[in-house]
Amino acid sequence: MTSVKKASNQMWGGRFASGPDAVMEAINASISFDKRLYAQDIRGSLAHAAMLAQTDIITAEDRDKITHGLNTILSEIEAGTFEFSAQLEDIHMNVEARLAELIGPAAGRLHTARSRNDQVALDFRLWVKETLLDLDAALTRLIEVFLDQAQRHAATVMPGFTHLQTAQPVTFGHHMMAYVEMFGRDRSRMRDAVQRLDECPLGAAALAGTGFPIDRHQTAEALGFREPTRNSIDTVSDRDFALEFLSAAAVCGTHLSRLAEEIVIWSTPQFGFARLSDSFSTGSSIMPQKRNPDAAELIRAKTGRINGAMIALLTVMKGLPLAYSKDMQEDKEAVFDAADAIGLMVAAMTGMIANMTVSKPAMRKAAGAGFSTATDLADWLVREAGLPFREAHHITGRAVALAEERGVRLERLSPDDFKAINPAITEAVYSVLSVANSAKSRTSFGGTAPAEVRRQVRFWRKRLKSG
């Protein structure tokens, strides 16, 4: 342990004469979680070494040694043979210490014109960027399974709800397309976040930049960024990209949770609208008849972890003066946890929706309950009898009250019943009182009519194909 502590002190420099207290080591070390950044850390160091040689800050010989050593370390980590040390604090020091063991003094030249402040900003930004792009692809797959269900059920009638009360008949395809719009916005937010974070922090050094003649545009291009960041103080103190990721993930998690709640409701015997496949259902240890929608319930619950992660990082950042503070070490665990959660949630929802079966009879029966075509009657009175909508609304209310009193649906009232309520109502009204005709009549752009649902499906398939 003494030798490792000595190595740690050498990393800090000559300012410290003795090693840290064990408690200090425990609170200061981040290697237990930031080792997840190993690939980004090594990638950044390779680009930095190449730039240092290109600008004659180090020799080509040292660059080649550094490059070989870093690639060796990458292989060791991926093979599971690399020994991480908490006494070396973080992924940067662990890699640098191992590099020194492998190639000797040349390893010390790698940190020229660089600080751990811009190094961690680079690693974390690269990781978040890659995660956002992965989520973009995952959301695309999720949208595709919704489009398949919407196409399949463009004319399947179900009740539309407000306040969880039957409102008007809609189609299940239309309901599926509502989630396409939601997840489409989530996908857009992920892409927007990538655009804003697509600037390279490397070269900002500790906070003031560097006096070495580095080429930040070279490293930015090598690492796949649009351009370098433009202010070194902001560069090392910025975690907006992480907050934006958490914000986008929280909104997406909210959408997933709302859908999960609907799946839980639809799966109950009382509703019987949908059935999850065996792959996404569980049983009970005591009740053999049970089919529990546990995947949906866990999606609903995991949303809270993502919301908590966003609040945690906002709280960390809210009082920090410029530039870097050690508080910012607390940025990664929340982001890693949220990224794991949202990735799993999207994958699980994709599987559930892809294999979910729908009970058309149960949906159709429920669609006709609760006088769901009452608005169609009011609209008919406006359109065919020329009545003001408020008067038509009042007349329809009387028809609903009569049907409720008799315990029948609106379409079961006789022509004489309707004429007694208002002489303007003719037998032609029955054409709008069926749930299928009601849904079919909603042909406005973005409406629930099957033809409109199919049009929106075609639009989204084209949109996804175009990227």
Q: What span, in angstroms and rounded, lies between the C-alpha atoms of 70 and 11?
A: 18
Residues 35, 40, 43, 44: what is their CA dihedral angle, to the nearest 10 degrees?
Answer: -100
Burial of residue 326, with CB atoms counted within 10 A of its CB: 0-12 exposed, 13-18 middle, 19 or more buried: exposed
Task: Give the SS3 label for residue 165.
Answer: strand
359 carries an active-site annotation: no
User: DSSP readout, 361-388?
Assistant: HHHHHHHTGGGTTHHHHHHHHHHHH---
284, 325, 414, 431: the catalytic one is 284
Q: What span, in angstroms and rounded, lies between the C-alpha atoms of 373 and 365?
A: 13
User: In the chain, what is the greatest distance between 2 CA atoms, to the nearest angstrom?
Assistant: 101
**CA triple 292-348-40, angle to 5 deg:** 145
18, 163, 285, 466: the catalytic one is 163
255 carries an active-site annotation: no
Residue 247's CB: how many other CB atoms inside 10 A? 17
| Tokens, residue 141 | 């797959």
Burial of residue 187, with CB atoms counted within 10 A of its CB: 0-12 exposed, 13-18 middle, 19 or more buried: buried
- Give the type of residue at 178: A
* Active-site annotation, residues: 163, 284
